[in-house]
Amino acid sequence: MALAACASPGVGTSGDPYGFSSTDRPPRIRLVIRNMNFNDVRLFALTPSGRTSIGHVGGKQDAEFVLDWPISAYMSIEIDMVAGPKCTTQEMQVDPGDILELQVAVVFDQTSGCR
């Protein structure tokens, strides 16, 4: 299991060296999921405000999800293997406009964080 975050480049007019101003970032995030395992997974966002369903990704499939995300906050993702264990990613700071990429490993139960 791997989780990476990156912000997609934009054209900002503010003098921000990265090309963003606070109004340029959309109030949502995009999750790109690659399930390399044969089993289906259900995904949940774990935030300070609670647990929210993200969606379902079939075995050996990719999916993209968009979540409303108006403010900067911490989040981890719970990965629930339909016929197996659960894993939770490490918590990370997520900002509006971020793109998160998650790969579900082939050997899921040997991944750190599985229980």
Per-residue pLDDT tens, the chain, 115 aa: give them.
555 544 444 444 444 555 555 556 789 999 999 999 999 999 999 999 999 999 999 999 999 999 999 999 999 999 999 888 889 999 999 999 999 999 999 887 666 666 5
User: What contacts 81, CB < 8 A, 6 or more positions away?
Assistant: 37, 39, 40, 41, 87, 108
Q: By C-alpha distance, which of 18, 61, 24 is closest to 41?
A: 61
Please state the pTM of the whole predicted model: 0.77
- pLDDT given for residue 21 in this prediction: 52
- pLDDT given for residue 85 in this prediction: 87
Range of the domain at 88: 2-7+27-109
Read off the CATH number of the domain in which 101 is found. Answer: 2.60.40.2890
Question: How far is it, in rounded angstroms, from Cα 53 to Cα 47?
Answer: 11
Is 65 part of any domain? yes
Count of the separate structural domains present in the chain = 1
**Tokens standing for residue 33:** 């999921």
Bridge partners for 38 per DSSP? none
**Tokens standing for residue 35:** 């399930």
- pLDDT given for residue 3 in this prediction: 57
- pLDDT given for residue 12 in this prediction: 44
- pLDDT given for residue 11 in this prediction: 41
Instruction: Read off the DSSP letter of residue 36.
Output: -
Is 20 part of any domain? no
Is 93 part of any domain? yes
